[in-house]
Structure 1
């Protein structure tokens, strides 16, 4: 009999997230099997642009389509789709659910541990910063103000830059380079789309230590269930 414990990874984009699992799976305990679900599975980019576009005041989320294209959409409007995937994962026997997005979500219905990266990332960063300002990289300039508000609510002062993980490593490197010489405690890559390779490149270009949410979350879940 298999000793593997199934856990769900729900992307707010489309599954499979081959760009993410290459970094996630090596960080997971050997007994954990990651099963992927996508909130936007079955939708086209045209569907998303028509039905899920952010309205003024709504949180802007960025994720990846199955073919690698970037999708930008409303965090508020995707909540019901994420909830449907949580329900599906539980029916499939998953023992825990990770929402693979650092955005802000309301409380969702669940019967197994439900892990949101944002509170983990914010609490860890606040503890590590020790009252100092940190640098934060978000995918799009339109997310900068909401990032300041979210981090401020968590008690952290931030210096914001933007570069999309879905548009290649060069932009990440260029944005990180602008932080060199800034008096920031470290850099936080505030999107689950940022990769280990991008973390390492950002560290080189900025001269700062870097906190990466995808590996942080995988380590925490492994500690709990591994």
Structure 2
């Protein structure tokens, strides 16, 4: 008997649709999945988006607009807009997935919601013999924050900034070489913005196992909706 369609709601901190992400996630979810999206910046003009930008000391998030432009946002300024997206989607979907690895403990949903930050952190926590962790993030302003964040579970953390939206393949190769020479045991591409091609470059050059949040989340959603 053919299974009924399930609907997954994806919420981005930028503008929807995030076809750069869903184009890779959808084939992993299975044929019975439909996708609905909502973006925290949907409907905002350029000046309104600028008002959500970071100031010194803010928790920095990096995302992509619909036209491909990369922007930096203050986490605290978009939390309420993300919750609004959850409220809008949860009556229509079976499962919700956040398209961001930032920490959002304030968010809540009446449906099952996958938070990649907690998901990937718990995956790494479950792995034995990870003595030195390599982490790739979008922007140099995120480095110290990520060192502290991952330092809660791994004592030795090396964070390298390489933007998923602005960097070249050579930038990823150089970062992978640096992490290889630093003798990390595992690499995390710590954003939903990083894609499978970027993962493959880092894995091949570094010779280390690499975790890609978008595919890990897709596998969990597939398990929940099978």
Cα deviation per residue 1:52-106 (whole Å; 9 max; x = unaligned)? Answer: 1223332100000000010101011110010000011023x11111110000112
Partner of 1:142: 141
- SS of the residue corresponding to residue 165 of structure 1 reads coil
Relative to the length of structure 2, the TM-score reads 0.93
Superposed displacement of residue 155, structure 1: 4.3
Contact 1:102 1:118 in 2 (8 A): yes
- d(CA) in 1 for partners of 2:58 and 2:198? 28
Cα pair distance change 1:119/1:61, threshold 3 Å: same
Partner of 1:68: 68
- d(CA) in 2 for partners of 1:140 and 1:12? 16
Cα pair distance change 1:128/1:40, threshold 3 Å: same
Partner of 2:106: 107
Partner of 1:221: 221
Partner of 1:120: 119
Number of matched pairs: 224
Superposed displacement of residue 156, structure 1: 5.2
Which stretch of structure 1 is more off in the superposition, 107-116 or 151-160? 151-160
Which stretch of structure 1 is more off in the superposition, 23-32 or 98-107? 23-32
Partner of 2:42: 41
Where in structure 1 are there 5+ consecutive unaligned residues?
none
- SS of the residue corresponding to residue 118 of structure 2 reads helix
- d(CA) in 1 for partners of 2:124 and 2:45? 36
Cα pair distance change 1:131/1:206, threshold 3 Å: closer
The runs of at least 4 consecutive aligned structure 1 residues that moved more than 6 Å come to none
Partner of 1:132: 131
Cα pair distance change 1:126/1:2, threshold 3 Å: closer
Q: Cα RMSD between the aligned structures?
A: 1.7
Which stretch of structure 1 is more off in the superposition, 129-138 or 56-65? 129-138
Cα deviation per residue 1:113-172 (whole Å; 9 max; x = unaligned)? Answer: 111101110111222253411100000010001101111223453111110001144222
Contact 1:123 1:154 in 2 (8 A): no
Relative to the length of structure 1, the TM-score reads 0.93
Where in structure 2 are there 5+ consecutive unaligned residues?
none
